[in-house]
Structure 1
Amino acid sequence: MCGIIGYVGENGGDTAVVDVLMDGLSGLEYRGYDSAGIAVAEPSIAVRKREGDISALEEALHGGKLDGTAGIGHTRWSTHGPPSDVNAHPHTDDETRVAVVHNGIIENYRALRDELEAVGYRFESETDTEVVPHLIAAGLEDGLGCEAAFRQAVARLEGSYAIAAVFAGSETVYAARHESPLVLGIGEDGHYLASDVPAFIQYTDRVIYLDDGEFARITPETVTVTDDAGTVVETSVETIEWDADDAGKSGYDHYMLKEIHEQPTAVRQCLRERVEELERSIAVDSLASLSTPERVQFVACGTSYHAALYGARLLRERGVAATAFLASEYDTDVVPVDSETLVIGVTQSGETADTMGALRGANTVGARTVAVTNVVGSSAARECDHVMYVRAGPEIGVAATKTFVSQQIALVLVASALTGEYDSQLVSALRDFSGQLQTVLDESAAQEVATAYRDAGAYFFIGRGHNAPVALEGALKMKEITYKHAEGFAAGELKHGPLALVTDETPVFALVTAGSKPTKTLGNVKEVQTRGAPVVAVTDGCSDVEQYADHVLEIPETHPTLAPILANVQLQLVSYWVAHELGRSIDKPRNLAKSVTVE
């Protein structure tokens, strides 16, 4: 949650600094958009911040001038205190000697605030973040220099944080991280820091990822990384393989629609050099040293959890005991986990707080860990024993689309690689899969379905086998971007309670594909139709469900394991078009942010 940007320019110039900060905030708005603000330092600190999206901050900056060569910015997803100008970041001390932006949650802020108020420090906001500039100010008043005061303050914090600070009279940005991401950008005419690469990708593709417990000092000439004792840490500079155009809309109305249409390319990237049809092998180099595990436990949240459910079933079909856990509910004191257990964390960002907590718990008790993630250099990628990148490319829309499809394809490969099983029909289907995805995108009737049911009171999604997680995902997408009530069920559960909710105002989306007990799901279709519910069948033609459905969304025939992935794309499009017709904020749905870095 929340996005941080920092910049120090070698050539100075207030316009350049402000422009970089504002560009960075625009590139991070998917991480939070309740409020936004910037602070520019040297010789004094000037702060501008506003409730609302970036446009409100732009209006506040209109006609003004901010002097300085160093600056920080923040776009907020609210945790402590509602969205307001006062609660927006950056926050300063009473005398505006230091300005701070923060992502995460400071768990002991209440005790720190009471302590600081008792000695005369004044607080204006309801945020946990405001304790940080006051702690720094206390260090300055004790005679410490800027860096020492910053380090002393950070040492007192409990919880998760990525923090950046600027000081009056200084051309330096100081930063620290603990369980919340920060990445440094190495430029030609200046240096950057941010919560995520899109904030500065238009300026540089050379990055350094900070690890937990590390500090960064960024000046116009240098970037220095140290540990909590102040010892310089050797770092490696990595090159990002995508550019600013990849993170743009490319002419689409919304990032989400663009990313839905990028799925054929994302799948090709995920499969590249991992599937060898002639050699009859599926190989994931990063997992090559792993033998078939005795048991596998997936940990994940949200959309990634639905992918984990899919992956767990794939492994069970291959004879491996596999279970998917919601990461927030995973407890190594309760769940049997040991050195013979393989724990796979599925996380788009590689920074999801609950998933990282589960993986760290698994590491503590000696389990082997694997990260299935989209972000190179993320916390999950660095902290797990093994990593498999899904290679979906940048995803800006808050509602995950291409990363979900890429996760599913990646888990097909993981299941095959871990068990050593080679299914020639599956490999042949993978070869053709990108083209089939494109066929769905080109021929979908989803917009027509969305028009027919945009005013429905609620939406139900049902499926069996590999289709059950996709039914859950279809409902989640509908909820996220339309704000309409939607539920997904394993189809057999419909008659064990949810059928009481079915009326002629609750369309039912039924996933009916080969290999997922289509005859039984057809029986469920007849159950809801008898109660007057309209039915939308998503099908590969494996049954005669078409004659019972009010609308049909077709998918090409493929391997039964892959059919649910094609069906999912149809559901993504339905949700998108319902939201579009309702005028929703599709890329930035209310109350949600892309990367959930707080528990």
Structure 2
Amino acid sequence: MCGIVGYVGDRDASSTLVNALKKLEYRGYDSVGISCLKEGNIETRKTKGRIRDLETFIEGNPFEEDYSCGIGHTRWATHGEPNDVNSHPHGNARISLVHNGIIENHSIIRKQMVEAGYTFYSETDTEVIVKLLDYRISQGDDINHALRYLIHNLEGSYALGVIFSDAPRKIYALRKESPLIVGVGSGENFISSDITAILKYTKSYYDIEEGEIAVISDNEIEILDIDEFAPIERELVTVDWEEDVAEKQGYQHFMLKEIMEQPSVFRRAIKGRISNSKVTFENEGIEDDFFTNIKRVHIVGCGSAYNSGLIMKRTIEKWCRIPVIADIASEFRYNDPILNDDDLVIIISQSGETADSLSALKLAKKRGIRTLAIVNVIGSSIAKLADKVILMQAQIEISVASTKAYFAQLVVGYLVAFKLVDIMGKWNEEYQNLFNEFLTVGDKVKKVLDDISVYQYIASEFYTSSNLFYIGRGLDYYMSLEASLKLKEISYIHCEAYPSGELKHGTISLIEEGTPVFVLASQKNVLEKTVSNAFEVKARGAKVLFISTYDDEMFKDGDYTILVETIHDDLSSMLMVLPIQLIAYFVSSLRGCDIDKPRNLAKSVTVE
């Protein structure tokens, strides 16, 4: 969940590391720090707070020398509260390192190191790595052997960037489960948690696999196996992203920029996946045989990915008439799921590094079940492990609260559902017409986003609320879950989502005078029942907002109504998501919240 970066070259290391960390701050922003190395000397500057606090600290405490090699870290706290001491890098005169992950056997190692005479100064699990490395080197190990010892003895997850005082102008990197890449420049090289941090300098990188040690200098990159430290050949990966995809481009926040990008996200998500007016994944190397003889589907994700999986579940069940189970990833493997040979397990993860989702995928693979990953990062751990991969094509999403990636998950989910309809021999004129309407979604999304003033108005009416409810039925209930998550994670308003028919079974007791209840109403077959439930809460003092794809007289007695573009009920989620995203954004803006970096959260959850 933390962000790691390293640099070696001819540039000023301090400013280069700080600039790169700014692009990683979405991964964590409790504390931040850098260490720089030159001719046997390591200097460290770190502080509680954000990167701007580090910049202020460095201005008041400048580095004593000019450095061109170093490592940096922005933290999301796991062990130990956010403070100066617990911030990274950790080290001593010989070693400095940055760490993303959790060392599960840290207490055992800590006890061993205390018995060996070491003193600990922080509450972190990371400090045990420093002591263990230092101990192995003091016992005669060279750097490679000491790092190999780490690989064999650390339990849990980690991505490590390490510098040593007696290895000038070199950075050592290794990983297990947590992401880490080696960026390839000209006369300079990098390590980074992801490519976004170093797009300003390079678009090319090498992946580091588990059980490998990468040794990076300005003009050389060695990737070594841990058995004989033999060099490993690795294919160079080059992305076609421009640096400005990680910039706000005139928007006040990344979240609004990413909401407004969703029409182009739709176009990218379907590009190359339509042939003869049907869905094909052959460009991804997925033949039709992969989807044959599926009797049941499991969809696994966390947060917004799980919410998108619920939409996918409902759609596949309705269209294909096979059972679909949607599971929260952190619960999946601990529930000892029943998996059969003719099942398909679909893992949804924006980053492709979500720890719980990766664990669920490993369980499915261990059981011999076919697996499909829907991710946004091609070289991610989940993408590498799954049998087949479908990229979301959302490009970089910087804001912690997911918008365009969630939308992309919906689009890809519908593509998979259409594919299964075709494979199962259910494709007919009705589905062809439905598919043709699906292809118009991008244009309809653009129309909704052409005028966002109504959402600013609605936000101005409700931003002072302390409690709020979203309700709906069917697909609208599943969208209510995402609406509730989006609002509370960035505005800090307590918000709950309920099936509208469930309110009478206890929850309606929470309704009092002025309580906002937002009603999603895009499903014609339950529209009357949904409206009836809305007026039950209105009769008890609630302020009711209807959001619908239908212009219906039934809404006239509500307090507010938002109408979006008309579309088939089964496809409505791709339009209904837009109002809930924009309302959350403008409410949070009026409340003065840090929209792109909400408190206590991080973009990529790489710990369980």
The answer, yes or no, to whether TM exceeds 0.5 is yes
Residue 190 of structure 2 corresponds to which residue in structure 1?
Answer: 192
Residue 345 of structure 1 deviates from its aligned partner by: 0.3
Question: How far apart in 2 are the matches of 1:405 and 1:545?
Answer: 29
Q: Is the 8 A contact 1:34 1:52 kept in 2?
A: yes
Structure-2 change in CA distance of 1:516 and 1:141 (3 Å) = farther
Q: State the Cα deviation string for residues 551-594 of structure 1 (Å, max 9, x = none).
A: 11111101212212211110110111111001001000000000
Residue 149 of structure 2 corresponds to which residue in structure 1?
Answer: 152
Which of 379, 382, 392 lines up with 1:380 in the alignment?
Answer: 382
Residue 482 of structure 1 corresponds to which residue in structure 2?
Answer: 491
Residue 265 of structure 1 corresponds to which residue in structure 2?
Answer: 264
Residue 75 of structure 1 corresponds to which residue in structure 2?
Answer: 74
Q: Is the 8 A contact 2:151 2:211 kept in 1?
A: no
Question: How far apart in 2 are the matches of 1:175 and 1:137?
Answer: 16
Q: State the Cα deviation string for residues 264-320 of structure 1 (Å, max 9, x = none).
A: 1111110112124xx231112233231331111011000000001111111101212
Identity in percent? 39
Question: How far apart in 2 are the matches of 1:516 and 1:371?
Answer: 33
Q: State the Cα deviation string for residues 436-459 of structure 1 (Å, max 9, x = none).
A: 111111223111011001111211
1:111 maps to a residue whose letter is I
Question: How far apart in 1 are the matches of 2:42 and 2:154?
Answer: 24
Structure-2 change in CA distance of 1:468 and 1:227 (3 Å) = farther
Matched, 1:395 2:421: no
Q: Is the 8 A contact 1:39 1:99 kept in 2?
A: yes
Question: How far apart in 2 are the matches of 1:588 and 1:498?
Answer: 31
Question: How far apart in 1 are the matches of 2:554 and 2:565?
Answer: 15
| Alignment map for 1:369-448 (pairs within 5 Å) | 369-420=371-422, 421-422=426-427, 423-444=431-452, 445-448=454-457
Count of residues in Structure 1 that have an aligned counterpart in Structure 2 = 591
1:38 maps to a residue whose letter is I
What SS does structure 1 have at the residue aligned with 2:513? coil
Residue 591 of structure 2 corresponds to which residue in structure 1?
Answer: 582
Residue 315 of structure 2 corresponds to which residue in structure 1?
Answer: 314
Q: Is the 8 A contact 2:473 2:523 kept in 1?
A: no
Residue 298 of structure 2 corresponds to which residue in structure 1?
Answer: 297
Structure-2 change in CA distance of 1:204 and 1:167 (3 Å) = same
1:440 maps to a residue whose letter is V
Residue 516 of structure 1 deviates from its aligned partner by: 5.5
Residue 104 of structure 1 corresponds to which residue in structure 2?
Answer: 101
What SS does structure 1 have at the residue aligned with 2:97? strand
Q: TM-score, normalised by structure 2?
A: 0.95
Q: Is the 8 A contact 2:14 2:67 kept in 1?
A: no
Residue 201 of structure 2 corresponds to which residue in structure 1?
Answer: 203
| Alignment map for 1:410-559 (pairs within 5 Å) | 410-420=412-422, 421-422=426-427, 423-444=431-452, 445-515=454-524, 517-541=526-550, 543-559=552-568
Which of 25, 36, 47 lines up with 1:40 in the alignment?
Answer: 36
Question: How far apart in 1 are the matches of 2:364 and 2:15?
Answer: 43
What SS does structure 1 have at the residue aligned with 2:389? strand
What SS does structure 2 have at the residue aligned with 1:330? helix
Residue 566 of structure 1 corresponds to which residue in structure 2?
Answer: 575
2:291 maps to a residue whose letter is S
Question: How far apart in 1 are the matches of 2:4 and 2:527?
Answer: 48
Q: Is the 8 A contact 2:487 2:495 kept in 1?
A: yes
2:43 maps to a residue whose letter is A
Q: Is the 8 A contact 2:475 2:523 kept in 1?
A: no
Q: Is the 8 A contact 1:139 1:153 kept in 2?
A: no
Q: State the Cα deviation string for residues 365-421 of structure 1 (Å, max 9, x = none).
A: 111111001111111111000000010010000000000111001000011113315
Question: How far apart in 1 are the matches of 2:514 and 2:153?
Answer: 55
2:346 maps to a residue whose letter is I
Residue 349 of structure 1 deviates from its aligned partner by: 0.5
Q: Is the 8 A contact 1:290 1:418 kept in 2?
A: no
Question: How far apart in 2 are the matches of 1:534 and 1:266?
Answer: 34
Which has the larger displacement, 553-562 or 124-133?
Answer: 553-562
Residue 596 of structure 1 deviates from its aligned partner by: 0.3
Question: How far apart in 2 are the matches of 1:424 and 1:23?
Answer: 50
What SS does structure 2 have at the residue aligned with 1:48? strand
Question: How far apart in 1 are the matches of 2:436 and 2:421?
Answer: 19
Residue 498 of structure 1 deviates from its aligned partner by: 1.2
Matched, 1:18 2:14: yes
Residue 462 of structure 1 deviates from its aligned partner by: 1.0
Residue 208 of structure 1 deviates from its aligned partner by: 1.4
2:16 maps to a residue whose letter is V
Question: How far apart in 1 are the matches of 2:191 and 2:345?
Answer: 31
Question: How far apart in 1 are the matches of 2:208 and 2:558?
Answer: 53
Which has the larger displacement, 163-172 or 384-393?
Answer: 163-172
Residue 240 of structure 1 corresponds to which residue in structure 2?
Answer: 239
Q: Which structure 1 residue ranges, 5 or more long, are not aligned?
A: none
Which has the larger displacement, 81-90 or 229-238?
Answer: 229-238
What SS does structure 1 have at the residue aligned with 2:80? coil
Which has the larger displacement, 363-372 or 335-344?
Answer: 335-344
Q: Is the 8 A contact 1:515 1:561 kept in 2?
A: no
Structure-2 change in CA distance of 1:297 and 1:168 (3 Å) = same
Residue 2 of structure 2 corresponds to which residue in structure 1?
Answer: 2
Structure-2 change in CA distance of 1:571 and 1:333 (3 Å) = closer
Q: State the Cα deviation string for residues 180-239 of structure 1 (Å, max 9, x = none).
A: 111111111211111111110111011112222222111111112223323332211111
Q: State the Cα deviation string for residues 438-485 of structure 1 (Å, max 9, x = none).
A: 111122311101100111121111111111111000000111000110
Question: How far apart in 2 are the matches of 1:447 and 1:302?
Answer: 26
Structure-2 change in CA distance of 1:503 and 1:543 (3 Å) = same
What SS does structure 2 have at the residue aligned with 1:460? strand
Q: Is the 8 A contact 2:441 2:574 kept in 1?
A: no
Residue 321 of structure 1 deviates from its aligned partner by: 1.3
Residue 543 of structure 1 deviates from its aligned partner by: 3.3
Q: Is the 8 A contact 2:246 2:398 kept in 1?
A: yes
Q: Is the 8 A contact 1:510 1:536 kept in 2?
A: yes
Which has the larger displacement, 571-580 or 542-551?
Answer: 542-551
Residue 542 of structure 1 deviates from its aligned partner by: 5.2
1:51 maps to a residue whose letter is K
Q: State the Cα deviation string for residues 107-134 of structure 1 (Å, max 9, x = none).
A: 0111111111112111111000001111
Which has the larger displacement, 355-364 or 509-518?
Answer: 509-518
What SS does structure 2 have at the residue aligned with 1:331? helix
Residue 340 of structure 1 corresponds to which residue in structure 2?
Answer: 342
1:247 maps to a residue whose letter is A
What SS does structure 1 have at the residue aligned with 2:333? coil
Which of 158, 162, 165 lines up with 2:162 in the alignment?
Answer: 165
| Alignment map for 1:84-103 (pairs within 5 Å) | 84-93=83-92, 96-103=93-100
Root-mean-square deviation over aligned CA pairs: 1.4
